[in-house]
Every structure is written in structure tokens, then in C-alpha cells.
Amino acid sequence: MALVACNVAKTPPQAAAPTAKTEEIKPAAKGGIKKFKDVIGKDAVTDEGVFTIHRVGEKYYYQIPDSLLGRDFLWISRFASLPSGLGGGYVNAGSSVNEQMVEWQKWGEKILLKSKSYGSVAADSLPIYLSVKANNYQPTLYAFDIAALAPDSAGYVIDVTRFLSSDVKAFSGLDADMRKTYKVSRLDDTRSFIYSVKSFPLNLEVKQDFTYDAAEPPTNSATGTLSILMNQSMVLLPKVPMQPRINDYRVGYFTIRQLDYGSEALKADEKTYIRRWQLVPKDIAAYKRGELVEPIKPIVYYLDPATPEKLRPYIKAGVEQWQEAFETAGFKNAILAKYPPTPEEDPDFSPEDVRYSVIRYVASTTRNAVGPSVSDPRSGEIIESDIIWYHNHLRSYRNRYLLETGAANPGARTLDTPMEELGEMMKEVITHEVGHALGLPHNMKASAAYPTDSLRSGPFTQKYGIAATIMDYARYNYVAQPGDPGIRFVRQLGPYDHYAINWGYRYLPDAKSAEAEQPTLSGWINEKSGDPIYQFGSGSGGFDPSSQTEGVGDDVVKASTYGLNNLKVVAKNLYDWTAAQTNDYDDLEELNDELMGVWSRYIGHVVTNVGGVYENRLRPNQPGYKYEAVTANQQKASVDWLLAHAFTSPEWLHQAKISRNVHHASYVDGIRSLQARHLNNLLSPDRMARLMENEINDVPYTALTMVEQLQKGIWNEAYKETSIDIYRRNLQKAYLDRMQYLLNEKPTVSRNGTPVSVSQSDIRSIVRAELVQLQQQLKSSQNRFKDDLSRYHVQDALVRIERILTPKGE
């Protein structure tokens, strides 16, 4: 019994069933189907591969074998090159635009390129299969006339020149929003061309150089032109899909989804499979005995020939560090990194060949690295992966290393970080990106698995690292304090990585179906239940303080306190570690801006505690609740910390030799912007909704409690009647602006935020009542301030409050 995609080929009513043999079509003497030699002449340039490609003058032809009609292909559309700023700067060269399954069908004297989906399926032996097929008819993406028969009469030749030269929406790099944003009117045929077409044994690669007329392009606006280089990859998928592995949301894997209409449930059964490479032991009997066994086909990454020689050992080590985790899954030498072969060693080597996974080294100022992969949408099998490393990325790590560890780590106090230390950072970044290519998403909960103070222990950090997984955004140990001996400051592979790879990749030879694997897989998870080291959290939603980006340790208040103590040491020495050494202010300015960002991150981690809810990924047969609010004491302590460290005047940041050398007049406003951002985050509708929920969950810290505590702290000068400095005056104005927003405007809730109706909740009642109390307090104290600016500020605040409480029109 086969499980077949919903949109299996459906013969058009007016057409006969697809012919089985090419010979049934007779070449026409004139027009229509011609003889092969009349189309593909002696001057044709031919490239053999999955399809044979013929170039005749300026025309391109595909020769499609009969055996590949009806086969499943994966079509990936990517940007090969693009203008700066396209997509708001969130799109890079190599970014995938679209992935879709396609198949080539013959219909009469035409070859059709059809879209195909495995999103809805049913076994072909079930009656409902007919309905699934009929109600999910696949679109035709393009229709080609058959130009000629293949010489051996076992295939068809089609002219693809117009197709590859056209702006076909299904494969275009410009979506509807981009076309609207940049006011794209048309593809200019006179300035567009087919850049290259190459065929390999399992894939076909096309590059298209497209130029559009665009009234408002992202760059070079005077030209009215937008040019992109698109890469179209067509990959032949295995004839028999790999046995999939059913996802369990308690372990982190990238997934594919299907709707199975053949389910016995009273609805279509949604099945989710993990994305992973297929690893099968060479010796299954030895594997079952518990011996380490090599896979029949290991995962192999080749280094880009453009990779600098000095970096190659670190990249190779980053890939092969995963061998440790695969050994936990029973495999030896499961993943390998190889230096690029010479033409003599492998004349067929090409990074574009889907048989080769490559770590590409890109000459770009982008500070990033990514680990995309191509997977079979029928089973989740990862077919190929190209890790992308952008040249300038190490600069980001050098900067963060200095800022986050410089207080406790003498080796980080320089712009000339030793190559050995940079190499260790690069190795771990590569390991992280390869983790994505193995199917592992970010696990932001792993950084909260270790007690915060354990990160000050040399033996602990050297053995366990700074987070339970390399897949967390826990780059550096900013908790360790000056004088702590033997500390590891850079992340590394952790125990969760061994656990996740074993769960996803261990071969189960006795399980003949995905369903048969589930008892074993679920049992492994239950064995680790309750151990924070083996928990998974995506960090999405922004409400779980134990699942945050860039954090380390299980106590965010303690970790941020340690981090801030270190940052104050770095700020005091930043000039001496940069400008004093280089006799230049550029690095000082860059690092000073990033230092502000680090301070902001420490603040943000504590903000998440307020209205925070821990997400525990549990099944109903496990004890506890999926969602558990942060305790009242923790929330109150977090607001106290914010009032003391985020909303006070940061005198420690103001150093004349920095501020007066990197900008002429933006320091005060920079502080205002940062503090206002976190204040607005605290007073956001979705956070207040979670705080209001505390009232019914017996957590005695509510939205009213938070606003009372926050208001008294931000306006404490009104109670103490001390002068109000410029930072505090700006902060207090930001507070009034936010209250105005909550009371009189229509606040929007972020897409992933907690839903709340502001007008029908307690939010406006709380805001109005607190503003009235603040108004009374300011009236009673306004004349006691000795300095003019404090007095004028309070007078202005009273006017603002009155306008908020009684806006025009009421």
C-alpha cells in the first residue's frame, strides 16, 4: 500500500493517457516535432547530466529522458547576487526565495512542468485517495512544445529559452511586496539574459541575470533599475523516500508537515516529520551489539577553494566536532570535512553539484554565517547543505569577545585577538551552523540549564561549556568575574547535542515504520524528563525568561548583575584598549556603540521576568503544567533591579575621552532611546495581559502591582524632592508618552504577543488611576524643587498629564 501525494498527475479530459514510449510520436516533416538532427545540429554545445542540455546559438534545449517523466524533483529558487538593501537588508546572496516540488509530464505533443505537493496525502488503496487527488489538482507552471525526439527515442527535446528568460512568478526572486515597494513595472528583455545553465548527475543549475524597470529601487535610485542574479536549482529526489521519523516537540528539530486524510481519526491527521540526513550502518549486526559502526554514506562537507589557508583547520574542526555526538548515536566517522580537491584529484568537483555539500567562503562585508539545507518534502531527508561564512563575521566575534569577557579575560583586551582564540570562536560558529544543517534549530532554553554561579567555575565550564547546547545563542561567558581561575569563555558542544543527535539519528533496525519507532523515541525523552539539561525551547513568543537569546545561567537577574559589573570595567578601559593603541577613533566608536547594545541585552533579559511565563514542553502523562508564571518575588525583584540598573542615570557610561571623541551631541539622546525602549517593553499590552492573568493563577504580582512599583521608582524625586537630572527628566517624559499611548491610542499587540483588548481590560483603568495619583503628588511637590530645570520639568509634566487625562474633544 503506497502513500501517494494528493496531486498525483491527472490526465486532462481531452488528452489520452500519457504514452509509455517516445516512439509513439512521429516526427513531423515540417513544423511541430522535428528530427533530432534538425534541432540539435553539429555546432551544439552539449552538457550531460540529470537532463542533457544543448546550447544552439542563443537557444537552450533540455533533453528529458522518458525515465524521469513523473519523477519527483525539488526546485529551489535562490538569490545568487542582489542589490544592497533588497528586502530591507534581511536578504543575502544565497537566501532561498522558494522551494517547491515539481514533476515533468507528457501530455499529447507537449511537456508540462507541474507543481506538486506532499502537504496532503492518502494511501492509494483507500477510497478517499480519489477525493484527495481530485480536490488538490496541481497547477501547470509552464507548457513546452516537444521540439524533437531524443536520438535513442527514449526522451524528448524541448526549447527552454523563453521559459528561462521570462519572469515566471513561481520562480521569481521578487515577490508581490517587493514589486510594490520598489515600483517594479516590467522585466526589461533587452537587459536580461540567461547567465549559465549546467547539468550534473542529480541536479540542474540555472543562473538568470534579470533587470527590471523600477521607479524606486533599493539602491542607485537615479537609474530606475533593479538587477538581480537568480539561481534555479532542480534536484532529483530519491525514487523511494527515506523512512521518516515522527517529530516530538519536546526535542528540537526542523520539520516538514503533511495532512493524512487516510487517518482513522475524525479529521485529517497532521503528521510532522523531522529533517535529518539518512545514516545507515554498514554492519547492522555490529551496530545492534553496541559497537561504533561507520555509515554506508557519511555526511561530507567540502571547504570552498576560496577559503583562506589559515582558517581551514578551524573550519574542518568545527564540522568534525559533531563526530562526538554521532558516536553517542552509534556511528563512527559519520560526518567529515574535506579540503577542496584539485582538478587532478576530482575533475568533476563543483560546489553547484548537489552531490557535494560545501562550506562557502563569501567575500562580503556581511557579518553573519548561515547553515541552510535542502530536504526531501516527502520524508524530511536532508539531501544537501551549503554552509555560508561571510568574510567579516569574525569581526563581530572579536568585538563581543572584548566587550563581554574583557573584564575577566586578559586575552580579550585587544583589537589584535590571537589567531588561536579567533580560530576557536570560528570553529564553534561553524559547529553551530552545521548543527542547523543537521536539522537542529536554536534551543534557547539550554542556556538556562546551568546554575549561574557554576559559570564562575573553571572545572565546570571546561567540562560542560557555558550552555547545554551549541545551538543556543550563548556565545560568551559574561558571568565569570575578574580573578575566577581557569574559565572557559567560548561556547562548545554540550550534553543536549549528544542527546538530540542520538534521538534523531540512532538507527532503529527493528522498526519498520515511523509509527513503530515512537515508543522507543518517547521512552528516551521520558528518561530525561525534569532534567533542565535536556529541555528544548525555541525562544519564540518572548515570554519565557528561561528561553532567551544571548543569555547564560538560570537566574537572569544574577547573570545580568555579573554582566553589568564586567561591562563597567570594560567601559572604563575601552579607550585604552582601542584608540590609545591604534591612534584612531573608528574602532572606539564601533565598540562603544556595541557596548550600549550589550548593556541593553542585559536589561532585556531581566525585563522578560516581569509578566514572564515558563514554557514546559510536556505530554499529558507527565506531571506539572505546560505554562507556569514566574513567582511574585522574582517579578518584584526584577523591577527593583531595573529601577536600580536600567532607569537610573548611567554615570559609569559617561567618559569624556569616549563620548567627546565619537560623537558631537548624541550621548544623552542615546541613553534616552535605550531606556525608553525597555520602559515601553515593560508597559506593553501583551505583558500587562500576562500580569493580569496572574490574578486568577494565585500569583500576587499583577499589572497594578507592577505599574505602582514602576511609577514610584521612576518618579522617586517627587517623593524625595531632590533635583531631577537630565537622564531622569527624559525618562519621565518617556513614561508619560507611554501612558498616553496606553490610555488614548489604539495599541497594537505584536504578532507573537499575548492577545488583549486594551479598551475592555483593566489596562486603561490602571493607567488612569496611576496618572491621577502622580498628578496629585507632583502638584504637592512642584514648588519644593530648588533648581529651575527640575521645577520647569514638573510643571510641564503636570500639563502633559492633564492633556492625557482630558484630551481634546472630550
Q: With DSSP H G I counted as helix, E B as strand and the rest as coil, what are the percentages for the chain, rounded to 5? A: 40, 20, 40
At 268, the pLDDT band (50, 70, 90 cuts) reads low
Strands 255-260 and 120-123, sheet pairing? parallel
- In the predicted model, what is the mean pLDDT of residues 581-593? 92
In a domain? residue 617:
no
Residue 311 domain flag: yes
Same domain, 206 and 338: no
328 and 432 inside one domain: yes
- Give pLDDT, residue 308: 87
Has residue 455 got a pLDDT over 90?
Answer: yes
Among 516, 543, 569, the domain-final residue is 569
The pLDDT of residue 64 is above 50 = yes
Give domain status of residue 266, yes or no: no
**pLDDT mean over 77-85:** 85
Is residue 292 domain-shared with residue 397, that is, in the same domain?
yes
pLDDT value of position 267: 47
Kindly report, residue by residue over 150-187, the tens digit of the pLDDT.
Answer: 988 789 999 999 999 999 988 988 988 899 999 999 99
The answer on pLDDT for 718 being more than 70 is: yes
Cβ burial, residue 2 (10 Å; 0-12/13-18/19+): exposed
Number of domains in the chain: 3
Final residue before a domain boundary, out of 172, 205, 236: 236
Check residue 193 and give its pLDDT. Answer: 92
Cβ-count burial 629-646 (b if 16+ within 10 Å, e if not): bbeeebbbebbebbbebb
**Looking at the domain assignment, is residue 591 inside a domain?**
no
Q: Is 747 among the domain residues?
A: yes
Strand partners, 647: none
Same domain, 665 and 532: no
Q: Which of 569, 589, 609 is the last residue of a domain?
A: 569
pLDDT more than 70, % of the chain? 90
- Is 774 a residue whose pLDDT tops 90? yes
Are 371 and 310 members of one domain? yes
Sequence-separated (6 or more) residues with CB below 8 Å from residue 587: 415, 578, 579
**If you average pLDDT over residues 323-340, what whole number do you get?**
96
User: Which residue range is the domain that position 290 belongs to?
Assistant: 284-569
Mean pLDDT over 725-742 rounds to 96
| pLDDT(689) > 90 | yes
230 contacts 173 by C-beta, under 8 angstroms: yes
Mean pLDDT over 97-108 rounds to 91
Tell me, yes or no, whether 232 and 296 share the same domain.
no
CA–CA distance, 259 with 645 (Å, rounded to integer): 51
Q: Rg of the Cα trace of the chain?
A: 31
154 plus 37 within the same structural domain: yes
Least confident interval from 12-26, 122-136, 138-152, 403-417 = 12-26
Query: How sure is the predictor about 90, in pLDDT bands with cuts at 50, 70 and 90?
Result: low
622 within a domain of the structure (yes/no) = no
Task: Provide the whole-model pTM.
Answer: 0.88
Instruction: Decide if pLDDT at 727 tops 80.
Output: yes
Task: Return the pLDDT at 447.
Answer: 94
Domain for residue 264, yes or no?
Answer: no
pLDDT at residue number 756:
87
> Cβ distance 380 to 244 under 8 Å?
yes
| CA–CA gap between residue 410 and residue 486 (Å, rounded) | 12
Does 423 score more than 90 pLDDT?
Answer: yes
For residues 391 and 483, state if they share a domain: yes
The mean per-residue pLDDT over the stretch 416-443 comes to 94
Summarised one tens digit per residue, pLDDT across range 347-392 is 878 878 888 888 887 766 666 677 778 899 999 999 988 888 776 7
As a whole number, mean pLDDT of residues 769-789 equals 93
In the structure grid, which three cell numbers stand for residue 169, read together?
Answer: 512568478
50, three cell numbers:
540529470
Same domain, 557 and 692: no
> Bridge-partner residues for 724, per DSSP?
none
pLDDT at 366: 67
- Please determine, for residue 264, whether its predicted confidence score (pLDDT) is greater than 60: no
Determine the pLDDT at residue 363.
62
Task: Report d(CA 374, CA 74) in Å as an integer.
Answer: 9
Judge if 15 and 144 occupy the same domain.
yes
- Three-state DSSP class for 63? strand
Does residue 260 sit within a domain? no
42 compared with 456, residue with greater pLDDT: 456
Distance between the two ends of the chain, CA-based, in angstroms? 71
Summary mean pLDDT of the chain: 89
Please check whether residues 213 and 288 belong to one and the same domain.
Answer: no
SS3 134: helix
213 shares a domain with 296: no
**Greater model confidence, 267 or 186:** 186
Which of 129-138, 319-328, 661-670 has the largest mean confidence?
319-328
